[in-house]
Structure formats: C-alpha cells, structure tokens
A and B are shown apart, each in its own frame.
Chain A
C-alpha cells in the first residue's frame, strides 16, 4: 500500500528533514513512527499525503508514484487516505457532525448513507452526543477524536495519524488504538506517528524510529 524507497526531503531553507528513508507497509499492516521533536515524523506523513514534494527517492502509495502525481490528481489521492492531523485541522464554523461529514460531502456521497456513517464514526470515538457542538467548545482530546472520526469516516484504505493520542489520557488512548486495530483487521494500512513510547510498547507493532531524519533500528514486527 505504501512503498518508500530512498526517500529524502530537504526544505527550501536547506533543512534536511528526511534522509534515505526505506520501508513498506502492506495491506492490513500497522506501523508506528517515533523520534524526537523535529525528527521528521510529520514531514514523512506530509510527503505521503502529497502536501510536500520529495526531494529525492520514490513514494508509491496505492500503486501511484507520487512523483508522477499531477495537481489535479492530488485531491483524489488524498480521499483514499484518512488523516489525523497533529493540529486537528477542524473547521471552527462547522459543528462536529459537519466536520466529520466533510470528506463524504466532498466526494458527493449519498446523503442518508453519509449521515449513517458520520454517526457510526462519531460513536466509535465516543462523541455521538456532541455532534451539534462547535469544535471551540470541545476539549483538546475531544477535538482530536473528532479528527479521528473524520479520518475514518470515508473508510479509507490508508490511515495516517500524527500524534493521535497526544491529548488523550491512557484509557482514551487505548480506545483509539482499538479503533485503529479494528481498521487494521479489515485490511486498512496504518502509519501512526507518536511520542507515546509507553503506549507503543504495550502494542508491539513495528516501529520506525527516526533521528534527525534518518531511520535508526527499524524494530520490525515483533508479534501480532
């Protein structure tokens, strides 16, 4: 699903954010990305989402080489990926319901079906009762969960999550991981960037460790 080969990213100011990244995530696989602040975790996700362009190497997502992706194709590429953003990226003037509806609205989903899916997604993250509330009136953790609901509502084949549990207590974090595992079990590929080493340890998935943009000891899948 995601194939990364000799990938590197240098920002315009000469900052090397990623150097020689190689890994692969197959269908129904989940991996974590860890590393210090500024290690390049968000950059990696941004490259997969075609928010940034690689400086070198290849990135193949859903069989598409992102180096060959045209401007027009980018939205359709992003629709196949559900993303939880580090800074939530919610629309402040839309309700929780409307925020989660957005990906379905964009792709012109049948309305009744869309509503059902939005409620199912909100229920997964325990926010069904807050559907009519605006994001500003939610706690950081609740906003994060709205972001998670929005990422999964489209039933994407890939889920990217950037610090999805950053604002959550251990219980909620475990809940969110369970939701992710459910998706993994139905064939979704997941890449989760996280600082939360204690959580990662309890889960025993493959961990890609970044240090100043370089991969160090890719731990691999220890057990399942």
Chain B
C-alpha cells in the first residue's frame, strides 16, 4: 500500500499541474455525496427532455387518466356539501285546503308543535306566501294584477329527526290531517341526490382503481423501453459491481418525474375545465343555494392529485425497473 501512496502522490502533483492548466474550463466531475441524488434526478430530467415527444405523450396520458376520477371526486365533494347544507333543513311543507281559514291554519300549526317528532312548525298564510314570492321572483307587478291569490296557505315543518324512515312515517301521519291538501317532502330530492352521490363515489373509486392499474402498465412499459435503450450501460454497470438498486435509481426518478408532471398537467387541465364551466356552474349552484361555494378543486385537492401522480409514477417505475433490470445480464 505504501507504494500505492507514493504513486498517488506522484500523480497528484501532475494532477495539480494539469488542473492549473485548465482551471477555466474545469467544471463537472463535482459529485459530492449529498449531490448524487440531485445529479441523478437532473440526469433523469435531461433524458425526458431528450425525447420530448414520447415524454409528453406519457405525461398527457397520465394527466388525463388522473383527471377523470379527480373530476368525479371533485363533483361528489360538492354534492356532499350541498347535501350537508340541506339535510340540516330537511323540510316538509303542508299545503292547506283553500277552504281552511287563517285561524284554522294557525291552529293546525300550533297543534303540530306538540308532536315531539316535529322540531318547528311555521304557518305561512296565502297572503304572506304571495308577498314573499313576488319579492323573491321580482314578478310583483304581474302578481298584483291577478284578481285572486293562486298560492295556497302552508305549514312548513322541520322534523326533529333526519332519519329517512322516521321522516317518511311522519309525513304519512301528516297527510291524514283533514285540513291538508297535499304535502311536499323536501327530503325526497335529497335522498335522490344522496343516492346519486353514492353512485358517483363508487364509480369514482372503481375508475380510480382501473386508472391506477392502467398507469402502472403505462409507466412500466415506458420504463421497460428506457431500460432496453440503456441495456448496454446497465450491463457495464453490472460488470463493475453495480447493484440493482443502484441501477434502478435513475429509473425511479424518471417514474417520479413522469408522475409529478402528469399530476401537475392534470391540475392544469382541471383548472381550464373549471374556468370554461364557471358561468353555467354558478347558475346551477345558485338554484340550490345562495351561499354555496365550489369546493373539491382547491389547493389541497390539487396537491393530492400531484402526490397521487408521484406515488403512482414512482411505484410503477419501482415494480417495472426491478423486474426488467434483473433480466439484463452481461
């Protein structure tokens, strides 16, 4: 070993001289232990750029695949929040017979308050109903010109329970009251919406599972191709003692990058879709609630989309690279 040191010393002196000569042009080769990962990541990025078309294709495929379930989940989150808002105010409206007088109507309402399955009962006379309607609709002039009031008097009930079966039982009892013409159960459409939301959620989950499986194959295939392209390089690294993990590292970064970029493009596409739909969406939402805000497409949802992409990309690359690297032998 002493000899080696001597030779090394000798070499170092020459090296110093050589370094002085080309100091200006000397860069690169600076691989510090902490920079190795950064170097590999940059290298992977460079390779993506070197074949821009196929990289772009992969990224767009990942983006669109992620976008579909993401849109469904986003839509569902909004449905859920609408449901939540309305479930707190599930109402039953009892429309009274035209023959029922105001005092009779008020009495029906007061009697109902004694029922402990009813939280509140408010009597709305036909006149008041017309007043409110002309205000909210802006059709005041038209309505005032009518000779008689087309609206019936009503009792608006908030059940003490949100349980569908109990609410249904209550409404059946209410229907038997003689003063009542017909009843309207506001929770009916809530139930339908809730069922729809459940369906969307299941479809979304199924779609997500299918899409993620598909992405594993797509990313796996991309990684397989780039392993094929670098077959010779892998053989050389194996010959001088490189482990599979060492060889896999750049491919894992490639998968990770594809995933992150795919997720980011998905967020971008989602944004474009939201902007395009913005007008009609607002209108639709206004029909249900005045203080409703679109949710499910905010920062955290976008972040989770990118993170999902990154995880799927990395895992897809992980599964593929070890399988195919194992098959490359010198």
Query: Is A110 a contact partner of B11 (Cβ separation < 8 A)?
Result: no
Asked whether any CB of chain B lies closer than 8 Å to the CB of A159, the reply is no
> In the assembled complex, how far is the CB of residue B19 from the closest CB belonging to chain A, in whole angstroms?
9
Query: Is B3 a contact partner of A124 (Cβ separation < 8 A)?
Result: no
Which chain B positions have C-beta within 8 A of A116? 8, 12, 15
Query: Is B241 a contact partner of A120 (Cβ separation < 8 A)?
Result: no
Which chain B positions have C-beta within 8 A of A214? none
Closest to A105 in B: B31
Query: Is B11 a contact partner of A106 (Cβ separation < 8 A)?
Result: no
Q: A111-B32, A119-B15 known; A75 and B238 CB under 8 Å?
A: yes
Which chain A positions have C-beta within 8 A of B172? none
Query: Is B15 a contact partner of A102 (Cβ separation < 8 A)?
Result: no
Task: A23 to B178: give the CA distance in the assembly, Å.
Answer: 112
A contacts with B, residue count (CB < 8 A): 43
Q: Considering the complex, which residues of chain B in the window 12-51 have a beta carbon less than 8 Å from any beta carbon of chain A?
A: 12, 14-15, 18, 25, 28-33, 36
Q: Considering the complex, which residues of chain A in the window 105-119 have a beta carbon less than 8 Å from any beta carbon of chain B?
A: 105-108, 110-111, 114-117, 119
> In the assembled complex, how far is the CB of residue A96 from the closest CB belonging to chain B, in whole angstroms?
11
Asked whether any CB of chain B lies closer than 8 Å to the CB of A3, the reply is no
Q: What are 10 A-to-B residue pairs whose CB atoms are below 8 Å?
A: A78-B238, A83-B239, A89-B235, A101-B29, A102-B236, A106-B240, A120-B12, A131-B29, A132-B28, A155-B4
Asked whether any CB of chain A lies closer than 8 Å to the CB of B233, the reply is yes
Query: Is A93 a contact partner of B233 (Cβ separation < 8 A)?
Result: yes
Helix, strand, loop or mixed for chain B's interface? helix
Starting from the known contacts A79-B241, A132-B28, 7 additional A-B residue pairs (CB-CB under 8 Å) come to A93-B233, A101-B31, A102-B237, A105-B36, A114-B31, A123-B14, A186-B3
Query: Is A49 a contact partner of B28 (Cβ separation < 8 A)?
Result: no
Which chain A positions have C-beta within 8 A of B36? 105
Q: A78-B241, A186-B4 known; A91 and B236 CB under 8 Å?
A: yes
Query: Is B7 a contact partner of A49 (Cβ separation < 8 A)?
Result: no
Asked whether any CB of chain A lies closer than 8 Å to the CB of B298, the reply is no
Asked whether any CB of chain A lies closer than 8 Å to the CB of B242, the reply is yes
Which chain A positions have C-beta within 8 A of B243? 75, 106
Which chain A positions have C-beta within 8 A of B29? 95, 97-98, 101, 115, 131
B242 touches which of A106, A119, A182, A186 (Cβ 8 Å): A106
Query: Is B3 a contact partner of A182 (Cβ separation < 8 A)?
Result: yes
Closest 6 CB pairs of A and B: A79-B241, A120-B11, A78-B241, A123-B11, A119-B15, A120-B8
Asked whether any CB of chain A lies closer than 8 Å to the CB of B330, the reply is yes
> In the assembled complex, how far is the CB of residue A63 from the closest CB belonging to chain B, in whole angstroms?
17
Asked whether any CB of chain A lies closer than 8 Å to the CB of B268, the reply is no
Which chain A positions have C-beta within 8 A of B236? 89-91, 102
> In the assembled complex, how far is the CB of residue B231 from the closest CB belonging to chain A, in whole angstroms?
12
Asked whether any CB of chain A lies closer than 8 Å to the CB of B142, the reply is no
Task: A111 to B1: give the CA distance in the assembly, Å.
Answer: 20
Which chain B positions have C-beta within 8 A of A103? 240-241
Asked whether any CB of chain B lies closer than 8 Å to the CB of A51, the reply is yes
Which chain A positions have C-beta within 8 A of B182? none
Asked whether any CB of chain A lies closer than 8 Å to the CB of B292, the reply is no
Asked whether any CB of chain B lies closer than 8 Å to the CB of A32, the reply is no
Which chain B positions have C-beta within 8 A of A90? 236
Which chain B positions have C-beta within 8 A of A131? 29
> In the assembled complex, how far is the CB of residue A154 from the closest CB belonging to chain B, in whole angstroms?
8
Closest to B31 in A: A111
Asked whether any CB of chain B lies closer than 8 Å to the CB of A150, the reply is yes
Task: A176 to B30: give the CA distance in the assembly, Å.
Answer: 29
Which chain B positions have C-beta within 8 A of A123? 10-11, 14-15
Query: Is B8 a contact partner of A75 (Cβ separation < 8 A)?
Result: no
Which chain A positions have C-beta within 8 A of B133? none
Query: Is A78 a contact partner of B18 (Cβ separation < 8 A)?
Result: no
Asked whether any CB of chain B lies closer than 8 Å to the CB of A128, the reply is yes
Query: Is A129 a contact partner of B18 (Cβ separation < 8 A)?
Result: yes
Query: Is A83 a contact partner of B14 (Cβ separation < 8 A)?
Result: no
Asked whether any CB of chain B lies closer than 8 Å to the CB of A85, the reply is yes
Closest to B18 in A: A128
Q: A51-B330, A91-B233, A93-B233 known; A85 and B11 CB under 8 Å?
A: no
